[in-house]
């Protein structure tokens, strides 16, 4: 089969199209014929990082996958050849540890992440264990379905389960990439008053069209004053942050007393100093949302099928143009997702 392989870690020029062996499913594995695979910033980080132990070899990126079942291992359950499916980002979880049994399989110590510890979906076929797939409803396209497991499902986790956003609350969402643009829609569907913060003025109109009540454009990254203005001086009840340390102190200045900060991403990896007294005196809660459970994936699919959320696929590109897609993501040149099609 054809696959995009990380031939050299570093810049996007290290991605190469190669012919590699088509895998055969065993046990509970499902062989998925890939119809679409989203490009996530995590793909960029894995590609840039030095090679290290534990990475699949050959390393094929891609954990946002939708396609059809091509073949089944002898013990695979709940699927048949021809079924439309999408993935939870993972190839394997143990299914029996405390994390797996409490809807937190993204924290399973034995998990294998697609496009990292296991071969990913930048290929014509990919292997995924049966309990890391969900059936993709017919009205949802493969392109849209491919990104449900990562940006949509993780945003659902952040807004609904971790952030526990309720109707009438004021929600600040930072970073209008794939995660942020879907968090806007999900928070709006929860009945919240949604404030979106972005550095890019050209994104404002599309963010409003997707459900933000107020868009704060802050090219310098300083948005706290305008967030407080938009909330009558009180601040936001909840912040869904997809950027990380670069904006943490602006979020802290934007948040209301008793507010909840949900961390979903870290772009720069820089360290910050934190005044612990400020946290407890203002009774702030800081939590993080990691990845998507299968239950959350299925819940996100229901929201999409109902029309409450629209997966934002800005551009579809052939798999052979994976390097160009990576460069666009690195340049923050897209709102939503780029999807590759084999």
Query: On the CB side of 289, how many CA atoms lie within 13 Å of its CA?
Result: 30
Do 2-147+311-341 and 154-288 come out as alike in CATH topology? yes
Domain range list for the chain? 2-147+311-341, 154-288
Per residue in 146-187, pLDDT (tens digit) is: 999 999 999 999 999 999 999 999 999 999 888 999 999 999
**Tokens 């299968």 belong to which residue?**
294
Check pLDDT > 90 for residue 127: yes
Residue 333: per-residue pLDDT: 82
Residue 53: per-residue pLDDT: 87
Per residue in 296-320, pLDDT (tens digit) is: 999 999 999 999 999 999 999 999 9
- By the 10 Å C-beta count (0-12 exposed, 13-18 middle, 19+ buried), 328 is classed as middle
Interatomic CA distance for residues 87 and 67, integer angstroms: 9
Query: On the CB side of 255, how many CA atoms lie within 13 Å of its CA?
Result: 25
> Residue 266: pLDDT band by 50, 70, 90 thresholds?
confident
Residue 73: per-residue pLDDT: 97
3-state secondary structure at position 10: coil
Residue 188: per-residue pLDDT: 98
Residue 334: per-residue pLDDT: 83
**CA angle centred on 65, ends 63 and 67, rounded to 5°:** 155
- Mean pLDDT computed over 231-258: 96
Q: Which residues contact 15 (CB under 8 A, 6 or more apart)?
A: 4, 5, 6, 7, 47, 322, 323, 326
**Tokens 């079924």 belong to which residue?**
83
Check pLDDT > 90 for residue 335: no
CATH architecture of 154-288: Alpha-Beta Complex (3.90)
Are residues 64 and 40 in contact, defined by beta-carbon separation less than 8 angstroms? yes
CA dihedral over 228, 272, 162, 61, signed as positive or negative: positive
Rounded to the nearest integer, the mean pLDDT of the chain is: 95
Residue 327: per-residue pLDDT: 97
CATH fold group of domain 2-147+311-341: Quinone Oxidoreductase; Chain A, domain 1 (3.90.180)
Residue 166: per-residue pLDDT: 98
Per residue in 19-68, pLDDT (tens digit) is: 999 999 999 999 999 999 999 999 999 999 998 889 999 999 999 999 99
């Amino acid at each position: 089969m054809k696959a995009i392989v990380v031939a050299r870690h570093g810049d996007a020029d290290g991605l190469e199209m190669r012919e590699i062996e088509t895998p055969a499913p065993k046990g509970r594995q499902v062989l998925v014929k890939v119809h679409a695979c989203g490009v996530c910033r995590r793909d960029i980080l894995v590609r840039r990082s030095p090679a290290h132990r534990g990475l699949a070899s050959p390393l094929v990126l891609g954990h946002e996958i939708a396609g059809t079942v091509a073949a089944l291992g002898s013990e695979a359950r709940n699927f048949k050849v021809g079924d439309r499916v999408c993935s939870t980002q993972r190839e394997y979880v143990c299914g029996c540890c405390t994390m797996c049994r409490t809807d937190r399989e993204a924290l399973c110590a034995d998990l294998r992440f697609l496009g990292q510890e296991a071969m990913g979906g930048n290929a014509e076929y990919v292997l995924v264990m049966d309990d890391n797939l969900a059936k993709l409803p017919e009205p949802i396209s493969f392109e849209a379905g491919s990104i449900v497991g990562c940006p949509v499902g993780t945003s659902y986790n952040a807004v609904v389960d971790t952030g526990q956003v309720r109707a009438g609350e004021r929600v600040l969402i930072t970073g209008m990439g794939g995660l942020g643009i879907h968090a806007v829609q999900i928070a709006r569907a929860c009945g919240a008053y949604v404030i979106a913060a972005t550095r890019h003025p050209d994104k404002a109109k599309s963010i409003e069209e997707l459900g933000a009540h107020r868009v704060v454009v802050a090219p310098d990254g300083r948005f706290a004053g305008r967030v407080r203005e938009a909330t009558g001086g009180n601040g936001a009840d909840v912040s869904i942050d997809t950027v990380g340390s670069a904006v943490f102190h602006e979020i802290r200045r934007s948040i209301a007393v008793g507010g909840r900060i949900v961390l979903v991403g870290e772009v720069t990896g820089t360290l910050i100093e934190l005044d612990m007294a400020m946290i407890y005196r203002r009774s702030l809660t800081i939590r993080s949302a990691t990845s998507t459970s299968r239950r959350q994936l299925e819940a996100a699919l229901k929201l999409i099928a109902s029309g409450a959320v629209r997966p934002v696929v800005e551009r579809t590109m052939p798999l052979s143009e994976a390097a160009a897609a990576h460069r666009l993501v690195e340049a923050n040149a897209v709102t939503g997702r780029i999807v590759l099609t084999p």
